[in-house]
Amino acid sequence: MCTQTSQFALLLSHTPLVPTVPVQGVLKLMNQLDHFQSVDKQQLLETEGYKVWRDIVSGRALEHPELLNRSLLLAYIDLKKFLYYFWFAFPALSLKYEMDRPGIPLSAHRSQTYVDHMLATHVRQGRPAFFCIVDTDGLDPDADGEVVELKAWEAAVDKPNRRLTVGFLDPSTHPQHPGWPLRNLLALVRFHTHARVDVIDVVCLRKNFRNGQASTERSIAFKLGHQVAVQMAMPKIVGWERNVKGKLGPRVVNLGASMDPRTLAESAIDLNLSLMKWRILPGLDLDVIKDTKCLLLGAGTLGCNVARCLMGWGVRHITFVDNGYVSYSNPARQSLFSFKDCIGGGTEKAIAAAANLAEIFPGMVTEGHHMSIPMPGHSVAQSEEAEIRQTVDKLSDLIAAHDVVYLLMDTRESRWLPTLLCQSMNKLALNAALGFDQYMVMRHGTQKSQDDVRLGCYFCNDVVAPANSTKDRTLDQQCTVTRPGLSFMASALATELMVSVLQHPLK
């Protein structure tokens, strides 16, 4: 609770100009909407209101007046639709008082000298939320008023020639009526003074700021007379806030319509992963997955499906490398391509995969590189040597800039050079390959594993160097012939293998 301000410059100040008041409260967050609607609101309010009454009766509220301010927030959040249901309550003790007239401006009630002196002593006291004003001469309305702690009220009640006034920092903006915190303050005063005081002077101190200068021109003052005395029984508790229709009921805020669509997409993706962590795997480190940079060598059937799985795990950095173009046979099995990518001879696969991945989720940091990976067994003309060296250097730079490398190409020999580079750079390499009704997924690349045992790679059992496996292939042999479902299985296992390695304590 604080007085109003709209000055942005105040937020930059180390010393707050606006008086702030600590408010103790309870947040009750419900798991289901029907629980939010059916919970006993009156019981919740009375429970918090009893705490205020207990502190008044025990005298703790005199020593610590901030205990008079309590709050209750009942809430339910629909994280999928971004609907926020909430209902505020500020428990207050309901007592009856006679108000001789509406509040008048403080400047009309007392002289400016009195007001200035009161404000100065209020600052010296640390700007308390609730306080007393003791006049040095009760017969002189212009006598200086000293701001003292609230607990000094009872000691000064019986002293002669003393005019006693209670004051509080008032959040209300109504020109004639006080704010809600006054209710509990009056209950405290009435309980501890009993019949010794028939009339209570009240100052509602309202501070606002204009051009960096504090002003109290909105402050008001008035007199109150008691109709009934406070007995030992707790008074009725009120305090639930009214909604925008002016009725007792919760408020609903739909943030989905006002939020950035990219932010909505990112939070929705993160929500599914967070639920996994909250409900099943408390030790799951989502940040290490999110920050992992993945290089996908091959943007075909395996490359598209691996990218989809990585995105589902929250990976944000994916780079594609491929030398092919999208053909009309690709979109049916390769999930990142569509018919428009095939028109006009086909778009470069790596470029199209990166662009389409960003369309699915704009928060992805993705790029594509159209390049051919040098392979053993494939002859190179002397005129192409410089270009091949540049390609090797570029591939080396890409592998060095990423944390995990996926080998998802069509041929065995195309995996040979990346395998050597991953081994030399100690990069985690994940290899996936498809047959007709078989598939293979393995990891290697890291130099040492547990117990100092070196991991084997894709070529460890070869007795001869890789050869050109694409030479003299007929049309039916140029395409990968495999059962459609195997690519999803192999891609999923390769992704899950990476996640398992990243979560391992010995990673």
Among residues 132, 204, 460, 479, which one is catalytic? 479
Q: How many CB atoms lie within 10 A of CB 18?
A: 18
- Triad 381, 398, 327: Cα angle to 5°: 65
Residue type at 264 in one-letter notation: L
Closest CA to 271 of 307, 300, 227, 314: 314
Residue bearing tokens 């309901």: 94
Token pair for 329 = 């046979």
Q: How far apart are CA 415 and CA 404, in angstroms?
A: 15
Answer for the pair 44, 70: CB distance below 8 angstroms, yes or no.
no
Return the half-sphere exposure (C-beta side, CA atoms, 13 A cut-off) of residue 34: 0
Q: How far apart are CA 354 and CA 77, in angstroms?
A: 35
- Distance of CA 305 to CAs 333, 435, 482, 504, Å? 9, 16, 15, 24
Q: How far apart are CA 376 and CA 416, in angstroms?
A: 8
Give residues with Cβ within 8 angstroms of 9, minimum separation 6. 212
**DSSP per-residue letters across 180-231:** TTHHHHHHHHHHHHGGG-SEEEEEEE--EEETTEEE-TT-EEEEEEESS---
Q: How far apart are CA 399 and CA 393, in angstroms?
A: 10
The DSSP element (H or E) to which 54 belongs, if any, is: helix 41-58
Token pair for 435 = 């047959």
Give residues with Cβ within 8 angstroms of 54, minimum separation 6. none
DSSP three-state, residue 369: strand
- With 0-12 CB in 10 A as exposed, 13-18 as middle and 19+ as buried, what is 258? exposed
**In 280-415, which ranges are continuous DSSP H helix?**
286-290, 301-312, 349-360, 385-400
- Distance of CA 307 to CAs 43, 244, 373, 378, Å? 52, 47, 20, 29
DSSP three-state, residue 25: strand
Token pair for 102 = 């509406």
* Catalytic residue list contains 294: no
Annotated catalytic residues are: 479
